[in-house]
Amino acid sequence: MAAQNEIALRVDSVGVCFKQKKGFFQKSDFWAIENVSFDILHGETLGVVGRNGVGKSTLLKVMTGIIAPDRGHVYTYDNNVSLLGLAVGFNQNLSGRDNAIMNALLQGVSKKHIENKLDEIEDFAELKGFFEQPVNTYSTGMRARLRFAIAIQVNPDILLIDEALGVGDASFSKKSAKVIKDRILMGQTAMIVSHHVDTLNELCNRVVWLDSGKTKMIGATEEVLDHYKKAPIV
């Protein structure tokens, strides 16, 4: 068990560059994030704010190891980091059960563990009678519920959440947001990227403000959000 205030993850001067096609055989560099640094401490919830296009999604990809930084480092100290997988795709011709196993395996959950949790997933996703049917017969809401029910089976040391805490209709959204909030309140180390100031105020110990691919401010939630709200929109 790691001690509180011990660093769980360090993002150190990270920059990520994408190649943009300019013409025939011509490409130019575009730095989605240029110089971002911060730490996440064990047991804390760090919020990330920033306008659209400042590099929040790219930052999440670097932190989860989906892409490698072109400059700087992400130190995870052997902690596993994973993004709450609410957008992982399904194989439309397979049943909800098969997709649950497949997605969980891809997200690093063992087959034995997920097989033991299938009934729980079916119940939580409220899929009675549909779990054995192909996913292409599901409504959008059913798919979102199934994705969420699978995603919460992944138990990383550091959980990254992109925007939404809850999914689906009003009642499921409340139920799913509660699961995440409970997990955070139980001491899950987490990072929430969100535009919802209220959510960040409620759950985060500290907030990082990203602007133009750089860390603009980092500090206590209230203080950073106060500055963020007052900042002129460019």
Partner 1 sequence: MKKYQQTLETILFRSSSEMRAEVAAGSMGMFIWILEPLLYLSAFYIIFAALELRGGKDAVPFLLIGLIVWKWFAYSVYRGAFSIWSAAATMQQIYVPKYIFLFSTLLSGFYQFLIVFVCLILFLLLYGIEPNWGWLNLTVVIFLQFFLIMGIAGLFAALLPFAPDLQVVISNGLTLIFFMSGIFFDVSSLSEYYQRILYLNPMVSIIETYRDILLTGHIHNWSSLGIVAIVTIILNTIMIYLICKWDKVYPKVLPA
Work out which of 98, 157, 202, 211 binds partner 1, going by CB under 8 A. Answer: 98
Q: Tokens 């809850």 correspond to what residue?
A: 166
How, if at all, do strands 158-162 and 45-49 pair? unpaired
Stretch binding partner 1 (CB under 8 A), from 4-12, 101-109, 181-189, 212-220: 101-109
- Stretch of residues binding partner 1 (CB under 8 A), selected from 5-13, 105-113, 176-184, 205-213: 105-113
In angstroms, give the least distance from the CB of 102 to partner 1. 6
- Closest approach of Cβ 91 to partner 1, in Å? 5
Residues 151-170, one symbol each (x = binds partner 1 by CB under 8 A, - = not), give: --------------------
Q: How far apart are CA 146 and CA 166, in angstroms?
A: 12
Alpha-carbon span 113 to 8, nearest angstrom: 25
Region of 41-49, 100-108, 123-131, 216-224 interacting with partner 1 (CB under 8 A): 100-108
Among the listed residues 92, 127, 85, the one whose alpha carbon sits nearest the alpha carbon of residue 106? 85
Residue 83 binds to partner 1 (criterion: CB under 8 A): yes
- Site size toward partner 1, by CB under 8 A: 28
H or E element, residue 147: helix 140-151
Pair of tokens at residue 185: 């309140």
108 binds partner 1 (CB under 8 A): yes
Kindly state whether residue 185 participates in binding partner 1, applying the rule CB under 8 A. Answer: no
The residue type at 15: G
E strands, the chain, are 7-23, 26-41, 45-49, 71-75, 81-83, 158-162, 189-193, 206-211, 214-220
- Which amino acid is located at 40 in the chain? I
61 belongs to the binding site for partner 1 (CB under 8 A) = yes
87 part of the interface to partner 1, by CB under 8 A: yes
The alpha carbon of 179 is separated from its chain's Cα centroid by a whole number of angstroms, namely: 15
Q: Which two tokens stand for residue 90?
A: 């399904």
Q: Tokens at residue 121, please? A: 């997933």
Looking at residues 122 to 151 of the shown chain, list those that interact with partner 1 (rule: CB under 8 A): 134
d(CA 107, CA 109): 6
Min dist. Cβ of residue 6 to partner 1 (A): 24
Which window, 6-14, 81-89, 118-126, 211-219, contacts partner 1 (CB under 8 A)? 81-89
Smallest gap from residue 37 Cβ to partner 1 (A): 20
By the criterion CB under 8 A, which residues form the site for partner 1? Answer: 18-19, 61, 64-68, 82-83, 85, 87-89, 91-94, 98, 101-102, 105-108, 110-111, 134
